[in-house]
Chains A and B, each alone.
Chain A
Amino acid sequence: MADLGAPAQPKPSSSVKLVLLGEAAVGKSSLVMRFVNNDFQENKEPTIGAAFLTQKCNLPTRTIKFEIWDTAGQERFASLAPMYYRNAQAALVVYDITKPSSLTKAQHWVAELQRQASPGIVIALVGNKFDLASPSGGEGVDDVDAAPAAEGETNEDEESIDARRVPTKTAKAYADEESLLFFETSAKTGMNVAEVFTAIANAIPETSLKGPRGVGGQTNLGRQEDARVNLTGGRTEGPKEGCAC
């Protein structure tokens, strides 16, 4: 995390704090791993807490250094999320195209971000696990409403069954309505992964960019709550299942 980037770069370089949010097991860490390491692991174990990674993204006119917070999707970590999206300039809200409930969850996150994150935050809605959709279900904007009847849990058989449950159209319509960037990706094949990050980099207004250590990193230090050992109040409580808003 040393500030090595700036002097060496001929192009202006700036840091962008980006946070990944979304339900558990939609592939947030896999997207990051594809973006940062160009690598993919099947059956990755769930993230615990959050992971912090950085990766540069070269644009024609400037270099963006992403400071990525890859958060855990489990419900019990939801109360920590504000710490990560506070002052973030960009957010990737991820859902799983084979799991409609994950889109619902994504919509909750979008709403929370719009309500509580920085006003100028760039939000991208990302439907991951595109590799599980059958080719006939198709790229882009076709209506794939006719999802076959095979019941859930078939995510792993990508052979002939189309596991897609969320039509592209539905998600795209929602994204347009909320003016979000929208992509369907596959961390497994790498499809569209770099594109998402490039699009985010391009969408970030020049004005909100500062030096390599700008708005990005420091923001976590603003304290909102007592953060001592016995601060467990509210975490992982029963009643707030399902929705963190």
Chain B
Amino acid sequence: MSDTEPRASETTPNNPPTPPKKSDPIEQRDFANPTINIIQSASRKASTSDLSSISRESTPPPLPPRPKNLGLLDSRPSTSHSTAPARPQLVSKATTQLSYSDTNTYNNETQSDSHSSGASRPKNYFGLNFGSRNTSDVEDYASMRSFAPTEVGIGDAESMIGELGGDREKSLLRSLGHRFEDQESESMFPPDPQFEEAFKHEFDDIPDMEADGSNEESVMLQWRGKLKHFLILSSAGKPIYSRHGDDQLITNYIGVVQTIISFYQSANDTLRGFTAGDVRFVVISKGPLNLVAITRLPESESQLRTQLDALYMQILSTLTLPSMERMFATRANYDLRRPLQGTETLLSALADGFTRGSPSTLLSALECLKLRKSHRHIINNTLLKTRSENLLYGLIVASGKLVSVVRPKKHSLHPGDLHLIFNMLFEAGSVKAGGGENWIPLCLPGFNNTGYLYMYVSFLNLEHPTKQMQERPQSRSGDGDEVAILLISANKEGFFEMQSMRNMLVEQLQINGSIALIRDAVKKGRPRCTDIVPGTPLRHFLYKSRGNVQFVMPGFEPAFADSIERRRLMNLYGKLHVQLHGKPTSLKIHHETSTTYISLAWTTPLFELYCVAPGTTSRAALAQAANKVIQWVRMEEERVFIIGGAVF
């Protein structure tokens, strides 16, 4: 496998752009070499990505030369030596500290010379300190990049120096033979008290304004202190939804936003977004609605668009597109809050999910409950066997992870639709808390945005599956181990039909032992990184199977147990994601280090992999660990992903 390791090579981000003809073979080499085995062995799932690249794979080009100072790199004694490298251009290009990767001026014509996009990034390369790592591979520029930290000590040279000192000490000690054992739970990110403070209060309610306006100032401060806002307004400027603050508070802002948007509209232009200070505004206009995301988190424009799209889909899911359009057709200044009454909790649950950071949304993929293939097969068959006539989709979901799905051959399930359903069931909690069985009309916009489907929902008591619905449904289930049976039908009056299917299904699942298997799998939870690859330096990873539109990840514990650490991890993933998906130049492999972490993002037609390890990890070890993860997924593919599902 050593041949196929993604080489930890790196480029000087500020190298002048190379002519395309020169960079092309390098691009090809980087793209092809690490993945060839996997691509070939699993090519049945290969998604249509890049035909030419696939043809290249049959003749893998030579590997890039290993850096001469690999040994030195492996021990990485010098993440922060201040010996200035012979790369003055780094210094000359240092610009602002803010790393708006989305504002990159990707002005390259061809995808292949993607490295040059690095040159135009308004990043601050404080990291001339990192030069020592660049000495060996000056010519090894490719579609792979390494970045000196841009997060660390933003705009704060002093703290940078402080860290340098610390690191030098570390490396000195190391040279004396000390080994640094990183504690697993040690934070991977430098402390940022300001962010932590803001994040801690991010989800607090904003108090109502007093009638006399006496607390106006403090209320405004709290409102402005939020890291993230979502506003939805009608094209006539009527407020529809705001994550924070009541009408009184947001009216002015709605007015301003509306003015800005319509200013551009009047010029037949569309405002997509803008930046003010450290705040990013992204706007999408969808028919009669304008949706605005305002964020101080490091998120890219396309990520924010995905989030706004999800909110829009939630609205459609409540109203359906034609009926919403009818409302506005009769009166342009229609107040949409009325028909949406009661769904604020769903929108807020979605919004908070985004603010907390959701791998599922970031990757636009689903997570499945890990089950043995044969076990899932039994569950699938039970679903097929008990399927009732008017069933469209049947799903078994365990705490937000898909266990099994039964669907018609012609209709697959749209991940966005499932996200809405999961949000309703597992985040918003309105269904769960009520107890009993539910019959919910909803539109699945990805499936068909013009009409309603009806969803039967029943939460399962895993300990006593048949008892649950008899007389006294559980009003509250345990944390995170809820299993729900969802049966979706187009028949409005199909409740009792679905109910009897559910009863049969649960009975059968109990007889064939599947309930127990699901229960065990739920209890087991996500494996830790070290369970997946013993001794791995990785602290976390995301692996998305592109063909299946599903992802797998280890548990957040222990390294990212609290929500702030988790948010920071998601920030990092978000940044990595941008590197792979930034248009028009996107990388195949992206490698980034800071004093506290080292990370890798890697995409092939088959998968996307994002992984992160402590800063003390060598790049070779990181690359090896990444390969181990891919090996693991390949072995476990039919357990961690639902391939095919039950189709009728």
Contacts and interface: CB of A to CB of B under 8 A. Distances in A.
Interface of A: 1-2, 4, 24, 29, 32-33, 36-37, 39, 41, 44-56, 68, 70, 72-77, 80, 83, 217-218, 220-223, 225, 227-232, 235-239, 241
Contacts of B494: 227
B296 to A, nearest CB: 28
B571 interface: no
B450 A230 contact: yes
Contact of A76 (B339, B440, B451): B339
Interface string B579-614: 000000000000000000000000000000000000
Nearest to A71: B439
A220 B436 CA distance: 17
A49 B434 contact: no
- What does DSSP make chain B's interface, helix, strand, loop or mixed? mixed
Contacts of B326: 237-238
B342 A48 contact: yes
Interface in B324-346: 326-327, 330-331, 334, 338-339, 341-343, 345
Given A220-B493, A231-B452, A232-B451, A80 B330 contact: no
Contacts of A50: 438-440
B430 A33 contact: no
8 nearest CB pairs, A to B: A45-B430, A49-B440, A227-B492, A53-B436, A46-B342, A229-B451, A230-B451, A236-B339
Given A1-B499, A47-B430, A48-B440, A54 B471 contact: yes
Contact of A52 (B342, B438, B470, B492): B438
B323 interface: yes
Contacts of B475: 33, 37, 39, 41
Interface residues of B, number: 55
Contacts of B452: 229, 231-232, 235
Q: Which of B327, B345, B439, B472: most chain A CB closer than 10 A?
A: B439
A238 B436 contact: no
7 contacts: A36-B472, A37-B435, A41-B475, A50-B438, A51-B431, A225-B492, A231-B452
Nearest to A217: B496
B493 A53 contact: no
Interface stretch (B43-51, B144-152, B314-322): B314-322
A52 B436 contact: yes
B429 A241 contact: no
A33 B435 CA distance: 8
B490 interface: yes
Contacts of B331: 238
A36 B473 contact: yes
Given A45-B429, A51-B437, A230-B451, A237 B493 contact: no
A77 B338 CA distance: 12
B278 to A, nearest CB: 34
A33 B430 CA distance: 13
Given A45-B428, A231-B452, A75 B341 contact: yes
Given A37-B473, A49-B439, A230-B450, A74 B341 contact: yes
B60 interface: no
Given A54-B469, A217-B496, A232-B450, 17 more contacts: A1-B503, A37-B472, A39-B475, A46-B345, A46-B430, A51-B439, A52-B437, A73-B342, A76-B318, A230-B448, A231-B451, A231-B492, A232-B323, A235-B320, A238-B330, A238-B334, A239-B330
Contacts of A52: 436-439, 495, 499
A56 B493 CA distance: 25
B84 interface: no
Given A41-B433, A74-B342, A228 B441 contact: no
A237 B435 contact: no
Nearest to A68: B436
Contacts of A231: 451-452, 492
Contacts of A218: 496
Given A51-B435, A53-B436, A220 B471 contact: no
B438 A49 contact: yes
B338 A75 contact: yes
A227 B493 contact: yes
A80 B441 contact: yes
A5 to B, nearest CB: 9
B436 A70 contact: yes
B491 interface: yes
A137 to B, nearest CB: 24
B433 A45 contact: yes
Nearest to B319: A236
Contact of B431 (A48, A76, A230, A235): A48
B433 A44 contact: yes
Contacts of B327: 236-238
A33 B434 contact: yes
B439 A229 contact: no
Contacts of A241: 338
A232 B341 contact: no
A97 to B, nearest CB: 21
Contact of A51 (B322, B424, B438, B470): B438
B220 interface: no
B441 to A, nearest CB: 5
A62 B330 CA distance: 54
B250 interface: no
A202 B210 CA distance: 49
B496 A220 contact: yes
B334 A4 contact: no
A221 B490 contact: no
Interface in B458-475: 469-473, 475
Nearest to B429: A45
B490 A51 contact: no
A45 B345 contact: yes
A232 B495 contact: no
Contacts of A80: 441, 492
B633 interface: no
Contacts of B249: none
Nearest to B436: A53
Contacts of A72: 342
Contact of B438 (A46, A48, A83): A48
